[in-house]
Amino acid sequence: MIGVFDSGLGGLTILKAFLRALPDYGYLYLGDNARTPYGNKSQEVIHEYTRQAVEFLFARGAVLIILACNTASAKALRRIQQQWLPAHHPTERVLGVVIPLAEAAVEATRYGWVGIIGTRATIASGVYDQELNKLRTGLKIFGQACPLLVPLVEEGWVGKPETNRILKKYLRPLKNSKIDTLVLGCTHYPFLRKDIERIMGKNCRVLDPPGIVAEKLTDYLRRHPEIEARLAKDGRRRYLTTDDPERFRDLGEPFLGQRIREVERVVLG
């Protein structure tokens, strides 16, 4: 089974792409909605919350876990991979979304001027800068924290004038910097992609995170048959939340683009 973890609902956009690209596998989605957002929390807290989620998903039968949360990928993934995983689950794997998006940005940029928008924690971590610079030297990298976008998306304010005014304010420094490629460093932001593209204009390519991550997961499974062979191919989809299941269902269905039939409430930690 493939586990997909996010601090809230945004990871459902990644799961949606997985279901389209790899529909035969079983998936277990966990949203830590009771403790979202992660973007304004300390690195230690983000690591502990993420570790709890990973441990829970492994206990429920996941073999491979995708941290669909950029903040968790930026603040917790490396430590989990290097320290916790070898000691507790050496045969399982945990992957994130930062490296796939950094690779896609390097492939897409024409002039080497790349922008990233994300939560405060993601931008402050500098993780995208680090991964981009590993892949290509000489890049001009511009980061912009956008703390208001996640709650606006989750409250259904996409496309509203107030949201577009906030978007324009956040994006103005990046547009003035003449970037040619923009990374959406949060799983909620694909909902705003059309408005972001309109604001940024024709000279800036806005990447599609769900499609990119799904493509990279497909490639990973092809390159790691020892992991792929252990994954259930029963087509099951299970949804877990640390908050109200009905609210998760009502708000989550637009993210996933299909009905969510059953949601189980769970407790982490």
Residues with a known catalytic role: 69, 186
What does the block give as tokens for 131?
């991964």
Angle at 90 between CA 86 and CA 93, to 5 degrees: 100
CA dihedral 29, 255, 156, 56 (to 10 degrees): 10
**Residues 70 and 185 sit within 8 Å (Cβ to Cβ):** yes
Half-sphere exposure of 108 (CA within 13 A, CB side): 23
Q: Is 142 helix (H, G, I), strand (E, B) or coil?
A: strand
CA dist., res. 48 & res. 53, Å (int): 9
